[in-house]
Copies of this chain bind each other. A is one copy, B any other.
């Protein structure tokens, strides 16, 4: 094991990080100075001695990954010192509108900042616990790609993932879930530094967090190390990280005792957690540190120089790696082509041709089953698919026959090249891990549970959407159609929750072609997560459905001229709408039917197309076996569930709530009569005074 060689500039660099963090937060008059000030030593030791990154190429594939789970200004300060494209002016714009330095590190979101910001954070942190889960995902991805692509003498994929975390993250359930799975998966490439500063917002952790964290992580199967003086014992910090790197079959937690807000008059109290330091406190601190007390945002030349050396080392490491990759291309041309394709994120040519296509005469099937058929067809052509379920594999139908489990080889249950992850009953952890897997690159993760329990993972789904992580949720048993399990398992509010989330494609396909369309669009959307809301019960294939039409998010399923009524529906209720329309047509009430499998995608179509689908002239009635909330955007009248579902065989539950062809025909007639009586022209709800 190597050892720590002190450099003259170490202390001044650490003091500089501390002072910069204080300056940044004070200038913004908002933020969290305490944690970056406390973690400056470990950040400095890690980056100056152990971390392999090249600031000139933030996307170098084999770089070490760094996640600041307790997301704060530390990330920005480090990026600036290291020479990433983040200027001192950017630091001064911390928490200001449209700056590169928002309140918490964002992997990128609106306003085209998506790519622009991607060097700042490849995962979004701030919401506690998410970064920890992302770190586990990054480590999973490394282990998987190493197993798939590395060859003897060609350790092309061998980076480490470092996560900094605090008390807050460790209290969160999502962290517990991810940590337990990381232990099971024996992820030796994952090193977590726990900032044990005894302080959270409510004060001393003694008020609520008195568990034995070391023992807890031992119970998960982690290696646990500790550094008693994280404020100044740099060799101990170095040795702990170096030791962690040597442990190949366990993730490591390093418990680092630090003093929050080190150097401040209020150090060690929650007074420095989430409020700026006062001016006199900062001055005194700088004097104590030997920095000019009157200069803000000051970086001594020795620090810039030391950090430039880190960059040089990283550039040289990348150059060596590129040379190795070049040799690999000669010895393993096929693998090389595949690896570089996957790194680029390009899908293989003609992969879409593997999508199943259905005729209306094909047998009715549950859309969860149609999803299984799609995955089975796609898996051979899309090896970047890395699937999994939260202990509902046989219900979600997400494991492709013959696929190998992603497991530590020592378990005898699979290996790291395996493409199916047993997540256990850990929905929230699964979501956060999947975000990390996608953030690594080269992999498209899909994950699964009942739609109702995607809500357990809402925090992670939100960050998929905000960060643009292409995670595909296979969310089965998506309505009262699940039947007997009853209201505790039947989604009501779930669809509108996720339909209202920006940059999330919530698909509720009605049949085979629509399911294929959902996969088509989800797989092509590199920066948008998707939820595929799928039925437990069988659904007939529609006459008019095609992948192409469904891929527009909405289309006409049953067309007539001069209609008296349009019924718009989604998922398992579309065929019920078709049945109702047939009954109405038979009674001389001409009825169109529209399927709207994905609002997000439909809303992106040209206004002209949308108005041709949901056209003016006749009232539009929406039908879905869920809350009607949100449907008034697309319809004049809404039929759905008034409250909770019910436990019972699903056909009986549908009957109970009047979601049958014959009752919807009755309701449809009511709507037609109502609008006849009302008189005047009926205008499409899509005709609006303005667009947001």
Contacts and interface: CB of A to CB of B under 8 A. Distances in A.
Interface of A: 28, 30-31, 71, 95-99, 102-104, 106, 109-110, 124-129, 167-169, 171-177, 180-181, 183-184, 200-202, 206-216, 218-221, 389, 391-395, 405, 407, 411, 413, 422-429, 452-453, 455-456, 458-459, 462-463, 466, 483-489, 492-493, 496-503, 619, 627-630, 632-633, 636-644, 646-649, 652-653, 656, 667, 670-671, 673-675, 678, 680-681, 683, 685, 688-690, 692
B685 A667 contact: no
Contacts of A496: 496-497, 500, 629-630
A314 B614 CA distance: 64
A683 B688 contact: no
A422 B173 CA distance: 16
Given A172-B425, A173-B426, A201-B395, 19 more contacts: A95-B484, A103-B489, A125-B488, A126-B485, A171-B424, A172-B456, A173-B176, A215-B218, A215-B219, A218-B219, A428-B428, A453-B459, A455-B458, A455-B459, A463-B488, A493-B498, A503-B644, A639-B692, A671-B689
B483 A201 contact: no
Contacts of A485: 103-104, 126
A207 B422 contact: yes
Contacts of A171: 177, 180, 391, 424-426
A106 B692 CA distance: 42
Contacts of A670: 689-690
For the complex formed by this chain, how many copies does it contain in all?
2
A211 B646 CA distance: 36
Contact of A216 (B184, B219, B646): B219
Contacts of A180: 171, 209, 211
A638 B656 CA distance: 34
Contact of A466 (B31, B428, B488): B488
A647 B184 CA distance: 38
A486 B103 contact: yes
B206 A211 contact: no
A95 B650 CA distance: 11
B637 A688 contact: yes
21 contacts: A28-B484, A31-B484, A95-B484, A97-B656, A102-B646, A102-B647, A104-B486, A106-B647, A110-B644, A124-B488, A129-B425, A168-B425, A173-B176, A183-B211, A202-B391, A211-B219, A212-B220, A453-B459, A466-B488, A492-B501, A629-B633
Q: List the 5 closest pairs (A to B, CB-CB), nearest first.
A: A173-B173, A97-B648, A102-B647, A208-B424, A674-B689
A426 to B, nearest CB: 5
Contact of A501 (B99, B394, B493, B681): B493
Nearest to A125: B488
Contacts of A394: 201-202
Nearest to A495: B500
A99 B683 CA distance: 45
Nearest to A647: B102
Contact of A647 (B95, B452, B488, B640): B95
A462 B678 CA distance: 39
A685 B168 CA distance: 45
A496 B629 CA distance: 8
Contacts of A637: 688-690
Contacts of A648: 95-99
A482 B380 CA distance: 47
A207 B425 contact: no
A642 B603 CA distance: 12
Contact of A413 (B126, B184, B206, B462): B206
Contacts of A459: 453, 455-456
A644 B109 contact: yes
Contact of A211 (B208, B220, B692): B220
A387 to B, nearest CB: 13
A692 B646 CA distance: 16
A393 B202 CA distance: 6
B391 A168 contact: yes
Contacts of A502: 492-493, 627, 642-644
Contact of A649 (B97, B208, B681): B97
B172 A426 contact: yes
Given A221-B210, A462-B455, A489 B127 contact: yes
A104 B173 CA distance: 24
B500 A493 contact: yes
Nearest to A463: B488
A496 to B, nearest CB: 5
B675 A503 contact: no
A528 B517 CA distance: 41
Nearest to A170: B425
A188 B209 CA distance: 18
B458 A456 contact: yes
